Amino acid sequence: MNPYWNVLVSLYYKEPYLPLLKVLSEKNVHFYSTGGTASFLRQYSQYVFDIELLTGYPSILGGRVKTLHPKVFGGILARADNPQDQNELKQFDIPCFDIVIVDLYPFQETVAHTQQAKEIIEKIDIGGVSLIRAAAKNFERTIIIADPKDAALLSQLIQKGESITYEVRKKLAKKAFAITSAYDNAIFNWFADTDLEISVPISTVYPNFLRYGENPHQKAVFYGKIEDNFTQLNGKELSYNNLLDIAHAIQLIDEFQENEATCAIIKHNNPCGIATRANIELAWQSALSCDPLSAFGGVVVCNKQINKETASQMDKVFFEILIAPDFEPQALHILSAKKNRILLQRKLFSYSRVEYRSVLNGLLVQQKDLQLYQDFRVVSVRDLPEYLKNDVVFGLKAVKHLKSNAIAIVKNEQLIGSGTGQTSRIDALKQAIHKLKVMGFDTKDAVLVSDAFFPFSDNVEMAHQAGIEYFVQPGGSMRDQESIDYCNKNNLCMIFTNMRHFKH
């Protein structure tokens, strides 16, 4: 490396970049910086120059304007193969910046801990974003570092004496534009919140390139910080399908955070087993017994610590992923014996209040389904026994996370039958009844929950023939009365919730 390379540094969080800064200082590069960053750099290098001396202007407007100056951006954007650019650098005495190291004001972190608009707005970075974009645009000559991971990469290349190739520079530029894009998106979503009462808080995220998408022939990228949500204790790299199932598993288990020990098993974005019991070992056994065939290769999620006894039982079954708030050391030892088994320890994190998916050439955005029912009304003559109220709530939580058309049949806080993703509600019901019969469950005192209304009484009649006497549905069909009349005629109980839970 040329000992007289010029490096522009503007950092809010300095420590993550310190290893690279030390390596550069050993090469006697010339650092250009402002304020606190310049003071920080002087601990490690004697070649630190204040931007103010270069531009002839001090930091003004309370720090809002520091680097926005032609002598700064000229030094970043000047093209190496353009004679006019090079002449103008000499004419105006502008140093040519070879490396730009910049991070951004913590806008998202500020949004997360305060609702004070003035404080949030002050954390909208202007100069940093501009510096990153300028350096990334001129990547053929200027190296842009806007992520500590890339700082480590550059540090290694410098220490090994390797050249910074075109491909590396372009990769760094692509990462830089991803960072500024996500940052701008987060700012937009905060402003959108003030108008729409819907926000999509996206962290400053970097592309995590996955092995492939849903299938090996599809490329895939995850934009996000997995480490903010979990600590991975064991297992292989997470895949596209893993992340889909994990997201579904977390949203499902969070319905049961206030319950006793609950375990759920997810397969292809659908729960195939859910149970709440007095302890986690019993919860696991009951969840598995819902449908052990479908559980093979699934994702397991629990709301309590995994102990040694439960781990010993779990180890007998093949599953890809286990998510829990904690693991006893002996449990972790047992479960991590299989090197590819993914073990994730949850962290506390807040959800976005909305969800979105790509459709055609745009995005669909909606509020997340965060409620269970709007009203809870017995519409039949027969009332609901007190001892079944927990099962009604359990069933609503289960059916909410099954793909539509969906039927959940529950008993003793266990999913004993489910019909999911069917094109008719009759088919969903047939599937649910078939499942529980194959597994040998008794329908006495079982509760059937539907994600949407029964358009005809045939659903109730079929379930009644299978021995089910308690029904929960949103109501709202023009022919609701037919189902109610059938229940009254046959001494069955029906409850309306006035809230549909379609999940496409």
Residues 468, 422, 378: CA angle, nearest 5 degrees: 35
The torsion angles phi and psi of 256, rounded to 5 degrees, stand at -115, 20
Q: Where are the domains of the chain?
A: 6-196, 225-346, 377-496
Tokens of 378: 């017995």
Sheet containing strand 342-346, edge to edge, reads 230-234, 342-346, 321-324, 299-302, 261-267, 270-277
DSSP state of 403: P
Are 433 and 407 in contact by the 8 Å Cβ rule? The answer is no
Write down the CATH number for the domain with range 6-196. 3.40.50.1380
Give the C-alpha separation, 253 to 270, whole Å: 12
Write down the CATH number for the domain with range 377-496. 3.40.140.20
How confident is the prediction along the chain (504 residues), in pLDDT tens digits per residue? Answer: 455 689 888 888 888 888 888 888 888 888 888 878 888 888 877 788 888 777 766 777 776 777 778 878 888 888 888 888 788 778 877 888 899 999 888 887 888 788 888 888 888 888 889 899 999 999 999 999 998 888 888 888 888 888 888 999 999 999 899 888 888 887 887 776 544 444 444 444 556 788 889 999 999 888 777 887 889 999 998 999 999 999 999 999 999 987 789 999 999 999 999 999 999 999 999 999 999 999 999 999 999 999 999 999 999 999 999 999 999 999 999 999 999 999 999 987 766 677 878 888 777 878 888 888 888 899 999 999 999 999 999 999 999 999 999 999 999 999 999 999 999 999 999 999 999 999 999 999 999 999 999 888 899 999 999 999 999 999 989 899 999 999 999 999 999 999 899 998
The torsion angles phi and psi of 259, rounded to 5 degrees, stand at -80, 175
User: How many alpha carbons fall within 13 Å on the CB side of residue 432?
Assistant: 39
Residues serving a catalytic function are: 137, 268
Q: Please report which residue ranges of 354-457 form alpha helices under DSSP H.
A: 389-400, 425-438
The arrangement of secondary structure in 225-346, i.e. its CATH architecture, is: 3-Layer(aba) Sandwich (3.40)
Residue 374 DSSP SS3: coil
The torsion angles phi and psi of 423, rounded to 5 degrees, stand at -85, -10
Burial class (CB in 10 A: 0-12, 13-18, 19+), 368: exposed
The torsion angles phi and psi of 306, rounded to 5 degrees, stand at -90, 120
Give the C-alpha separation, 31 to 49, whole Å: 6
Give the C-alpha separation, 60 to 63, whole Å: 5
Residue 357 DSSP SS3: strand
Name the pTM for this structure. 0.70
Q: What residues form DSSP beta bridges with 48?
A: 31
Q: What residues form DSSP beta bridges with 343?
A: 234, 322
Going from the C-alpha of 465 to that of each of 45, 151, 278, 450, 452, the distances in angstroms are 83, 67, 32, 17, 21
CA 252 to chain centre: 14
User: How many alpha carbons fall within 13 Å on the CB side of residue 257?
Assistant: 8
Residues 479, 480, 484: CA angle, nearest 5 degrees: 125
Topology agreement, domain 6-196 and domain 377-496: no
